[in-house]
């Protein structure tokens, strides 16, 4: 039996963007709602969750990432607004949205996802929604509390940043929370 790792592909974020998100987290935290906050170092823009993959597949996944990235240049993105998945009545995830070059980002994500299908990865049933998970909601939260948070922070906006690379991450689940380790970095440079 081959050894496997839990993995995903994501766009890393600059520290300035993470600090901006942390400020939002801290302001919402003051409301005293029971949420499990994503650690600053773990905030990223997921493009594709791969799940458990054999260690022997890392090189093939990396080559596929590089082939997908060949047709794309760095993208200017920003963080704007917040919301919840799946909805206000039963929120499970508190997220920050993306703006800027999201059309390019969506096109790139679709190209990446389609290029991974020959390696045995299934296409997501849900359409891609570019977001940053900032908290997981474990206990029941009243819709009015979520509405207040969205009204207060729904218009926040970060400065733009340039997404220049994607990273294949290993996700090691620990009792204290996940630990993400970058395994392969691929630059976005249109040939």
Residue 49: C-alpha distances to residues 8, 14, 80 (Å): 4, 21, 23
Return the bridge partners of 179, or none.
Answer: 172
Task: Look up 44 and say whether it is catalytic.
Answer: yes
Query: What tokens appear for 149 in the block?
Result: 């948070």
Q: Cβ-count burial of 176 within 10 angstroms (0-12 exposed, 13-18 middle, 19+ buried)?
A: exposed
Q: Which of 20, 44, 103, 107 is catalytic?
A: 44
Q: Cβ-count burial of 172 within 10 angstroms (0-12 exposed, 13-18 middle, 19+ buried)?
A: exposed
Q: Cβ-count burial of 66 within 10 angstroms (0-12 exposed, 13-18 middle, 19+ buried)?
A: middle
Q: Please tell me the distance from the alpha carbon of residue 131 to that of residue 144, in angstroms, as a whole number.
A: 22
Q: Which of 20, 103, 107, 131 is catalytic?
A: 131
Task: Look up 131 and say whether it is catalytic.
Answer: yes
Residue 71: C-alpha distances to residues 112, 117, 136, 167 (Å): 11, 18, 34, 17
Catalytic residues: 44, 131
């Amino acid at each position: 039996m081959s050894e496997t790792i839990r993995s995903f592909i994501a766009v890393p974020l600059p520290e300035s963007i993470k600090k901006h998100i942390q400020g939002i987290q801290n302001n919402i935290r003051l409301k005293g709602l029971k949420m499990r906050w994503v650690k600053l170092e773990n905030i990223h823009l997921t493009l594709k969750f791969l799940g458990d993959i054999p260690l022997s597949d890392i090189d093939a996944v990396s080559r596929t990432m590089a082939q997908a990235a060949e047709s794309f240049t760095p993208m200017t993105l920003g963080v704007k607004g917040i919301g919840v998945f799946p909805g206000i009545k039963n929120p499970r995830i508190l997220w920050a949205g993306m703006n800027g070059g999201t059309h390019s980002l969506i096109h790139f994500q679709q190209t990446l996802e389609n290029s991974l299908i020959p390696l045995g990865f299934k296409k997501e049933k849900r359409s891609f929604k570019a977001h940053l998970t900032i908290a997981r909601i474990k206990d029941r939260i009243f819709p009015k509390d979520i509405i207040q948070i969205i009204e207060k922070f729904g218009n926040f906006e970060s400065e733009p940043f340039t997404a220049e690379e994607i990273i294949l991450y290993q996700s090691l689940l620990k009792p204290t929370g996940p630990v993400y380790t970058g395994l392969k970095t691929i630059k976005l440079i249109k040939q």
